[in-house]
Structure 1
Amino acid sequence: MTRTTPARPVSVEAVFPELAARRGRTTRLHPRPGRPGVRESHVGGPMLWPQDEAWPVCREPHPREAEGYAPDEIRSARAAGVHPPRRPWPHVEAEGPVPFIGLAQLFRRDVPNLAAGPDGADLVQFFRCPLTHGPHYESRYHLRWRRAEEAERAERLLGAPPEPPLLRWEHELPEPCVLHPEEVDTYPWAEGDSLPAELIARIDAWDEAQELEHGPDALSYQSDLSIPPGWRVGGFPCWASTGPMAIDCASCAAPMRLLLTAEGYETEGPSHSWVPLEDRDPSLRGGASIRGGEAVLRPTRLRFGRDRDAHVFVCPADAGHPPRWVLA
């Protein structure tokens, strides 16, 4: 089934004509629980991975844990609609190596907005270490680029990737999701130096006027007109938690480009206007119209930081330069 973003409640370019020159395109991925195949774009499904290639592992030290969740018990509990049990952590050193958890893989043939990787790579695979790092409980991520045609010619593919015996949190394990890519217009975050100060002031004044007139159901630029929530490729980053940040390449200092945004929730609170038509009850309005429960609101079961966006940035000057990860 396709997913169709409703038309914006008002035309942002009619209200702020200057934004026409700053319009961008982003591909909403619309993950929904399913059974994706190894040769499909997905979140949480099986990776296209040659059997003779080593699976990525995190070799950094990790804090000792007391309890955790077994991956198979997480899966069983989700199928039963219950919470998984916590288990005592095995009596082994927690200093690695720890297998990375595959979060997503994306093919350019499925996602036209996906940037090309080094040496013409057209498949990107996204991983996260399931354990925390340092006193601030940080996450570590890993990106693997491939040429899809070469990987698909592998004599044998990996069946079941290695997994750690326990995960620190249940939300470290993604729910397998099929994708429904959809391109939509998007506009920059209105804060700091992401737009001219005079334009941001007018956007803020418009938001205030909307709130005075319509109260809690009022539209706002950030929530309803600029950047859609959920998993998306390309476009502009949302800076709701941190405020705008300059993300430059560590190798060449070039301003980096947003490759991918991963988010724990597909919709929440004021962003419900972005929920696709196929996931709505047309007889109801606002957040009450959303159908599908957890499968629509939080389909991947993942979390990033305190329910922030995980942005993956790449260097436009040289795709081989190291990516950067930002929780914002």
Structure 2
Amino acid sequence: MTAVDPTVEALLAGIPALAPYARKAVLLRPKAGEPSSDASHIGGPMLWPGDEEWPRCQGPHMVEVREKLSDADRETLQRIDRDWRARRAGKAHDAYDAIRKEAEIRSRIMDGADVLDKVTWERIRQVPVSSVPGVPLIGVLQLLKQDVPVADWPEGRDVLQVLWCPQEHSELPGQAHYWGPAVEVHYRSAASLAAVRDVPVPVDAVASYVPRPCLLDPVEVTELPAQDELPADLFGEAKAWAEQHGIEYHRTLACLEGWKAGGWPSWHLTDQVPIDCACGATTRLFLTVDSGRDPDLNVGRFGELRIFTCPVDASHPLRLNIQ
């Protein structure tokens, strides 16, 4: 494993009050390649118990449904668009009643659909559909304990596997305001993994949820939390220190980006969101799955999918969040 960057250690030496907020993390640093089943990797063949079936997800999955508008509704929307352009060109200032009425008409025609395709004049909505016998999960990540020593490994386990269903899911149990793949995490003992499983890819998988196979070059780092998770005066000191050294606090000293095990989450799209376990404990960041780059995933419109786990009992249900 590559040596630790000393920058955060220098900051902690200068501002010792930050020490309780420092967390270890491992940046996974994926590179496209052909990983072997007995190594840490993204999207490669998985070690697997010989007597265990490959898991499937029965959904419900969010499926796109298209509904053709009637000629009358299409003509109504086209007329509304023409009227809107005419009002805009004329810079009308008394159009409130017309706009309100048109909005009511649009709402009636869309009937709760999410999008209107103005090429085919179809309403597009996402509806939940169950799948029998189910969609095979795909292997996203396999980590060996020797490569990620900072994780909280259960006794007797030395292989960690992350699988997910490569379909869209909405409002999974316990996952508020979530849209994305359904995730499973398995801790294994290498001694119990007698078989090698090629990763199945369902024919109807969302392409952006299927990772390109990658090798990993893990590096252990120490990082600090985002501004909202520090006392204001302490953050001010840390920011001033960073500026004096010509670096940015966020993403350089705190909340490092990329595929990452452990560490701190970034709250760059929303305010900090409390993510609690069903038992009441505050969860901790377990894994960050990044979009783009060599694995070529796209989660949350090129965002980060973060997996949080319970610090009291790792068997408690995961919590998922996308930024």
Q: TM above 0.5, one fold? A: yes
Once the two structures are superposed, residues 202-243 of structure 1 have per-residue CA deviations (whole angstroms, 9 ceiling, x without a partner) of: 556778x78xxx9xxx73211322232111111212221223
Q: Which runs of 5+ in 1 are unaligned?
A: 68-92, 266-297
Query: How many angstroms apart in 1 are the aligned matches of 2:46 and 2:314?
Result: 21
Max radius of gyration: which structure?
Answer: 2
Q: Could you tell me whether the CA contact under 8 Å between 2:59 and 2:129 is conserved in 1?
A: no
Whole-angstrom CA distance in 1 between matches of 2:63 and 2:305: 25
After TM superposition, give the deviation of residue 319 of structure 1 in Å.
2.0
Could you say if the C-alpha distance between residues 15 and 264 of structure 1 is closer, same or farther in structure 2, counting changes exceeding 3 Å? farther
Tell me the equivalent position of 2:284: 257
Residue 140 of structure 1 aligns with which residue? 182
**Are residues 196 and 165 of structure 1, via their aligned partners in 2, closer, same or farther at CA, if it must alter by over 3 Å?**
same
Aligned twin of 1:183? 220
**How many angstroms apart in 2 are the aligned matches of 1:310 and 1:132?**
13
Structure 2 equivalent of residue 123 of structure 1:
159
* Aligned equivalent of 2:124: none
Normalised to the residue count of structure 2, the TM-score between the two structures is: 0.69
* In 2, Cα distance between equivalents of 1:10 and 1:183: 13
Q: 1:137 to 1:323 in 2, by over 3 A?
A: closer
Question: Residues 43 and 140 of structure 2 are in contact (CA less than 8 Å); yes or no, is this contact kept in structure 1?
Answer: yes
2:273 to 245, 254, 264: 245
Unmatched 5+ residue regions in structure 2? 67-127, 172-177
Structure with the largest fraction of strand: 2
Match of 1:302 among 297, 300, 318: 297
SS at match of 1:64: strand
Residues 31-42 of structure 1: matches in 2 within 5 Å?
31-42=30-41
**Is structure 2 residue 208 aligned with structure 1 residue 171?**
yes
Distance 1:66 1:51 in 2: 39
3-state SS in 2 of match to 1:184: strand
Q: Distance in 1 between matches of 2:58 and 2:297?
A: 23
Q: What is the match of residue 149 of structure 1?
A: 191
Q: 1: CA distance between counterparts of 2:166 and 2:20?
A: 41
Instruction: Give the 5 Å matches for 1:1-328.
Output: 8=7, 11-13=10-12, 16-65=15-64, 95-96=130-131, 97-117=134-154, 120-134=156-170, 137-151=179-193, 154=194, 157-168=195-206, 170-191=207-228, 194-203=229-238, 219-250=247-278, 252-265=279-292, 298-328=293-323
Tell me how far apart the structure 2 counterparts of residues 66 and 5 of structure 1 sit (CA, whole Å): 50
Cα RMSD (Å): 3.0
CA distance in 1, matches of 2:230, 2:215: 35
Q: For this pair of structures, how many residues does the alignment match?
A: 254
Sequence identity, in percent? 36
